[in-house]
């Protein structure tokens, strides 16, 4: 039961009335989930995979996996993509919580003067949440000789699995050295039934921006500070960080959940990675500050591939973002 209560507490942070979506630390590797307008911001196509382990000291570790794929159509202004994100709490326990999101993406590229480009994006997908309690043992199933085989008379959960439609949209403006975007998720505000209570998933609003500061352009060395602000269910979170990047190496530090509110835990995340001929391999570690720090930090590893292709510079200039 103690294991289940921890699972339930972590699940409520995702599924409660003031629920917060799960956000990986490496937002560059999961940009399609951050904003559908990021679809098609690589030269040709891009594939990304990320795996995350959060709270490893807990008996109910949070495991997340992400796969994203986007492609620029021959029309050069239209791009399509998709992503799959899966989150699991309490893997292997009777009280396991699972969340699945599968979304299709579309974006349209607009010129905005000589240097700026604008992308408008749309995301439509399928969501599923499941809370498995079948293996739990309740108090009235215990006897002096052990566990009885009788059914519990305690209150059980009203629904074990919920499926819903999810819609998001986004805007992105960028040039060779800067980008700024805004996205709105859960526009359909799907209604879920949890613990016998129906409620609407709160809309998630996000603003994000970054710049690319050249240190040595001939050696392709840059510093890239970035900010992400999120608001969902009355909770406002701010992430800030900076990255140093060369042609073959990337490293950065990221402060998540800056204390603009007293709720929740903050974390300091250190990220490092290598690049080679379109491949990027990144690892990050997040150290929790306050709150759930006793459950351990978070580990993420990601692999992405975005091949370069020779194109007409007049048509494709500034298609690729300066950060990522």
pLDDT score recorded for residue 190: 80
Could you tell me which CATH class the domain 2-316 is placed in? Answer: mainly beta
Contact partners, residue 213, CB within 8 Å, separation at least 6: 177, 222, 223, 224, 225
Percent of the chain with pLDDT over 70: 71
* Best CA proximity match to 36, nearest among 179, 181, 230: 181
* Best CA proximity match to 51, nearest among 97, 4, 85: 85
pLDDT score recorded for residue 296: 72
* Best CA proximity match to 4, nearest among 197, 142, 139: 139
pLDDT score recorded for residue 294: 62
Furthest CA-CA distance within the chain: 80
Residue 281 CA to residue 275 CA, distance in Å, equals: 7
pLDDT score recorded for residue 59: 64
Q: How many CA atoms lie within 13 A of 44 on its CB side?
A: 9
- Kindly list the domain boundaries of the chain, sorted by start residue: 2-316
Tabulate helix, strand, coil % of the chain (nearest 5). Answer: 10, 55, 35
Output the CA torsion sign for 255, 260, 261, 262: positive
Give the chain's residues under pLDDT 70.
Answer: 1-20, 58-60, 90-96, 133-160, 193-197, 259-265, 290-295, 309-324
* Best CA proximity match to 81, nearest among 107, 118, 114: 107
pLDDT score recorded for residue 156: 57
Strand partners for 98? 88, 130
Residue 247 phi, psi (nearest 5): -70, -25
């Amino acid at each position: 039961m103690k294991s289940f209560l921890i699972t339930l507490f972590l699940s409520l942070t995702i599924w409660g009335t003031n629920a917060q979506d799960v956000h990986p630390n490496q937002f560059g590797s999961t940009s399609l989930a951050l904003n559908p307008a990021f679809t098609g911001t690589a030269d040709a196509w891009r594939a990304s995979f990320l795996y995350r382990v959060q709270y490893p000291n807990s008996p109910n570790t949070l495991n997340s996996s992400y796969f994203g794929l986007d492609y620029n159509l021959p029309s050069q202004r239209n791009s399509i993509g998709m992503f799959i994100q899966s989150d699991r709490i309490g893997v292997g326990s009777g009280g396991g919580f699972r969340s699945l999101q599968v979304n299709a993406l579309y974006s349209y590229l607009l010129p905005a003067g000589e240097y700026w480009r604008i992308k408008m994006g749309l995301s439509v997908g399928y969501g599923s949440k499941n809370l498995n309690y079948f293996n739990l043992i309740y108090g009235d199933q215990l006897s002096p000789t052990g566990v009885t085989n009788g059914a519990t008379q305690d209150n059980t959960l009203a629904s074990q699995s919920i499926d819903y439609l999810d819609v998001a949209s986004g805007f992105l403006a960028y040039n060779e050295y800067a980008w700024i975007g805004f996205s709105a998720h859960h526009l359909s505000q799907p209604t879920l039934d949890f613990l016998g209570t129906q409620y609407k998933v709160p809309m998630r609003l996000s603003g994000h921006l970054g710049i690319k500061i050249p240190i040595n352009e001939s050696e392709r060395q840059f510093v890239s500070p970035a900010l992400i602000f999120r608001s969902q269910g009355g909770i406002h979170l701010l992430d800030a960080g900076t990255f140093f990047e060369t042609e073959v190496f990337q490293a950065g530090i990221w402060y998540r959940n800056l204390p603009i509110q007293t709720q929740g835990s903050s974390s300091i995340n250190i990220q490092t990675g290598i690049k080679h001929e379109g491949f990027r391999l990144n690892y990050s570690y997040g150290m929790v500050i306050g709150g759930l720090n006793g459950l351990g930090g978070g580990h993420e590893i990601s692999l992405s591939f975005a091949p370069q292709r020779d194109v007409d510079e007049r048509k494709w200039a500034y298609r690729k973002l300066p950060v990522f």
